[in-house]
Amino acid sequence: MMECAESRGEVIKTRQTQPLGVAIVDLPLASELNESPTLSQPLAPYYASAPILTSLGTCAAAGWYQDWFSFFMILLGTVVSGVSCLVIGSGEFLFTHPEPAIGSPPGDGILSSEEGIILLRREEGAVNAVTRGRFSLLFKSRDASRNIRLCSIFLVMQSIAQLILIPQSSLFGQLMFVASLAVSWAYNLWLGSFDNKKVQREILLKVLSKPKITKFVLGTRTSTAVFTLLVLNLTNPEHLMDVLLPSNTRVWNKWKATIINKLKNHCELEFDSSNWDGTTFSDSEKSLLKTFFKDAQEAYEGFKLYDGEI
pLDDT computed for residue 99 by the predictor:
73
**296, 271 contact by CB (below 8 A):** yes
Other CB atoms within 10 Å distance of the CB of residue 209: 11
State pLDDT tens for residues 89-138: 888 888 777 776 665 556 677 888 788 888 887 776 677 777 777 888 88
182 band by pLDDT with thresholds 50, 70 and 90: very high
For residue range 272-300, list pLDDT tens digits in order. Answer: 877 777 667 788 888 888 899 899 999 99
The H-or-E segment that residue 168 falls in is none
Residue-level pLDDT at 267: 87
Look at residue 37 and tell me whether its pLDDT is greater than 90: no
The average pLDDT across 229-239 equals 87
The CA angle 10-11-13, to the nearest 5 degrees, is 140
∠ CA 226-232-233, nearest 5°, is: 85
Mean pLDDT of 233-254: 87
Q: Which residue has the higher pLDDT, 177 or 105?
A: 177
pLDDT higher at 22 or 131: 22
DSSP line for 189-247: HHHHTS-HHHHHHHHHHHHTT--EEEEEEESSHHHHHHHHHHHHT-S--HHHHHHH---
Stated pTM of the model: 0.69
